[in-house]
Amino acid sequence: MGLTSTHWGVYRIRKSEGRLVGLDPVEWDRDPSPLGRSMPEGVRAPSRIARPAIREGFLKNRGASREGRGSEPFVEVGWDEAFDIVAEELQRVRRDFGNEAIYGGSYGWSSAGRFHHAQSQLNRFLRLIGGYTDSVDSYSLGAARVILRHVVAPWEDLVLSHTGWQTLEQNTELFMAFGGLPGKNTQVNPGGASEHIVRPALARMAAAGVHFVNVSPVRADLGDVAQAEWVPVRPGSDTALMLGLAHVLVTETLYDRDFIERYAVGFETFRDYLLGHSDGIAKDADWAAVLTDIPAGRIRDLARAMASRRTMINVAWSLQRAEHGEQPYWMGITLAALLGQIGLPGGGFGVGYACMNSVGAGRYPFSGPRLPQGTNPLASFIPVARVADMFLNPGQPYDYDGKSYRYPNIRLVYWAGGNIFHHHQDINKLIRAWRRPEVTIVHDAFWTAHAKFSDIVLPATTTLERNDIGSASLDRFMIAMQKAVEPFAEARDDYAIFSGIAARLGLEEAFTEGRTPEQWLRVLYEESRPRAETFGIELPDFDTFWREGFVDLPRPRTDSLMLDDFRRDPDRHPLKTPSGRLEITSQAIGSFGYREIPAHPAWQPPAEWLGSATAARYPLHLLSNQPRTRLHSQFDHGAVSRESKIQGREPLTMNPADAAARGLTPGAVVRVYNDRGAFLAGLAVSDDIRPGVAQIATGAWYDPVERGTVGSLDAHGNPNLVTQDVGASRLSQGCAAQSVLVQVEGFEGPLPPITAFDPPPFIQPDLSGIPSTDRT
């Protein structure tokens, strides 16, 4: 049977009488993800977009009607009419305002498969028509990406060179996991996770006697290692904890002075801060204990243990998705520098173990087939998480990484492969911002909130409805992805959609290069063979690959060892920092003059955390982490996600004491709120979450009780109703979703129904052309 590849794994397609009935994990995957179970039924769900649809007001009055976004019904139209309108709007905006007025930053994970990758197709199309305003960085790693390149190395270099799990198993004695090592997150990998390696690796390490310390408000973040030690830190206080640890290392001279001297710059300035010489406050264990809720004695013991063992310090990405999110990364690396084990097997630091499957895979960083996207002729960009600010403040200045920029004036927004009404913070602010552009266009397979808030909605196929090639960096297999079912209703591939629009603009040949999708697959695959050869990998020809269904790529003979060449000879292998060394103090960052991020790592209290004045009114810190039951918002309507809901709502977990203090019982529907917004959730209680903290996964589809309305209650549990839309700092402008305080109360009154998975209302609905079996 043929294979398909998703961000959460590779599956064999099981059919019965021509119908897709199941996706079975491949035999080589020892820890397959259950998420595949959501797909066979999920791709034929009522929330599929059947045909092109245009918001009623837009059809009549175009941009003048944009207040109607999210509330007005849609009119279904034919593809020709849709293409005409899209082409007309693109031409108008380009002519009147220039290409800069098109926002194509289109953040989102799309689907696996290298050719039918929605965002790559969009980039290729928009670059061909003269460019667009783009986005840089990511929601995943906004703060980390910027700080890492200043103080150690570009994130891309680090992530590809993480020390392999096998080396950790053989050498690490103590694994300090800030944010834990949550198995749930290792289900996925962008572009494909053909073999799940992390949980088996953790089991081997535990068996080998590695001691794991889970520094997290949530015990389950290291739930795969039964004997892991739990340090239930206050959310947002990890930098204070790390400073407390560093204080012990420095004052008890447990740190590696030779390492610091040879490999780092700026230690003295930092030491003066740490010891309180520069500001009168010693960042000692007692100081840290007050901020973190971790007793001083325990902090001292941990520091001494770290200094006496081969220690790996890993910092989960969640820690930097916060106000001052740069700090735990900078400070984590500083702590590793003090231990002096960077570049040694099993020691040093990690910046993403267990955040995804591939980190630490120890494989060749081989670049497989990729769609050529061209280059954007325009330089216009924003840091991705500033998107609502861009819409709200055209022409206004903002800072980013030491420079000052102005927000462009966006007239047309084009999205393919993302869901901003899932991923962006402060949805009520987003709704106001989203009313600013004149036109919003989206391709998706499903009626997500993003689609419901758009003017022009074009139905895309899903992975299972087309052939493609699965190939992700550091992943073990290349996969011949086989079409499993016919496209739903009138859905088309993103490629076909852009080809149709390009034809209206006289650019069809330039966009398609005269190729069918199948011809593209062959060309992209063949183009990747010489790249493979540079790693000594011999790929079979395309026909053999397609016939056999996959290529098992060889592993390098030895695991990679992060920064070992730098350790061997820092003069011959300097870092890409200004000094060529680890920058414990960064002159560059100091020169930017940002008050909130001085020249060395420092504790900067966030505006929202349990230590701030706001906690008097909103006494719970809300963690919105990655979901176990889906990838972000994808297949929230699928079986695995829906089985986890409580009274149809996303589960919110609280400590039993916090629930009891509010008179709340498990299974109840609760209202979670702050000054920014409110959502409903289903209550779960657990001793495995520290008091003062509530946790809800991201990804429940936004379900406003009053459609299209700022301030509406969300019936379903999207945490971005309450999160803050502020930059981590002016340095990175990264997303700060984790810094948020809320209150939780029982929900009284009639429960609003869940309508998130229903299509929007249509006028003149004409479903006659759609086979009734596709509608179930």
Active site residues: 107, 109
When computed from its CA atoms, the radius of gyration of the chain, rounded to whole angstroms, is 26
As measured in angstroms, the least distance from the Cβ of 171 to ligand MGD is 24
Helix, strand, or coil (residue 443) = strand
* CA angle, 509 then 512 then 515, to 5°: 110
Q: Give the binding range for Mo ion (CB under 5 A) out of 132-140, 270-278, 429-437, 493-501.
A: 132-140
Residues near ligand MGD, by CB under 6 A: 107-111, 116, 118, 139-140, 178-180, 182, 184-185, 187-188, 215-218, 221, 233, 235-236, 238, 316-319, 321, 355-356, 416-419, 422-423, 443-446, 448, 460, 494, 623-628, 631-634, 698, 719-720, 723, 737-738
> How far is 442 from 445, CA to CA, in rounded Å?
10
Residues 581, 570: Cα–Cα separation, whole Å: 8
- Report how far residue 60's alpha carbon sits from residue 65's, in angstroms, rounded to the nearest whole number: 8
Closest Cα to residue 345, out of 128, 568, 134, 514? 568
What is the helix (H) or strand (E) element at residue 215, kind and residue range?
strand 211-215
Q: Quick one: 140 or 528, whose CB is closer to Mo ion?
A: 140
β-strand partners of 481 = 3, 468
Out of Mo ion, ligand MGD, none, what residue 468 binds, judged by CB under 5 to 8 A for its kind, is: none
- C-beta of 90 vs 457, nearer to ligand MGD: 457
Specify whether the CB–CB gap between 490 and 50 falls below 8 A. Answer: yes
| Dist CA 746 CA 166 (whole Å) | 48
Cα–Cα distance between 453 and 276 in angstroms, integer?
52
Q: C-alpha angle 300/305/310, rounded to 5°? A: 145
Site for Mo ion in 139-198 (CB under 5 A): 140
Q: Residue 742's beta-bridge partner residues?
A: 620
The two tokens of residue 128 are 């061909």
358 interacts with Mo ion by CB under 5 A:
no
For residues 712-741, which are near Mo ion according to CB under 5 A?
A: none
- What is the smallest separation between the CB atom of 38 and Mo ion, expressed in angstroms? 19
The nearer residue to ligand MGD, 511 or 566, going by C-beta atoms, is 511
Taking the CA atoms of residue 270, residue 273, residue 278 and residue 279 in that order, the dihedral angle to the nearest 10 degrees is: 150
Give the integer Cα–Cα distance in Å for 707 and 714: 10
Residue number with CB closer to ligand MGD (499 or 585)? 499
When the beta carbons of 344 and 726 are compared against ligand MGD, the nearer one is: 726
- Whether 260 contacts 246, CB under 8 Å: no
Binds 632, which of Mo ion, ligand MGD, none (CB < 5 to 8 A, cut-off by type)? ligand MGD
- Structure-token pair, residue 628: 């176990």
Please say which residue, 338 or 697, places its beta carbon nearer to ligand MGD: 697
Tell me the per-residue interface mask from 92 to 131 with Mo ion, x by CB under 5 A, - otherwise.
Answer: ----------------------------------------
Residue type, position 501, single letter = I
346 contacts 318 by C-beta, under 8 angstroms: no
What, of ligand MGD, Mo ion, none, does residue 625 touch, CB below 5 to 8 Å by kind? ligand MGD
105/131 with CB nearer Mo ion: 105
Enumerate binding residues for Mo ion (CB under 5 A): 140
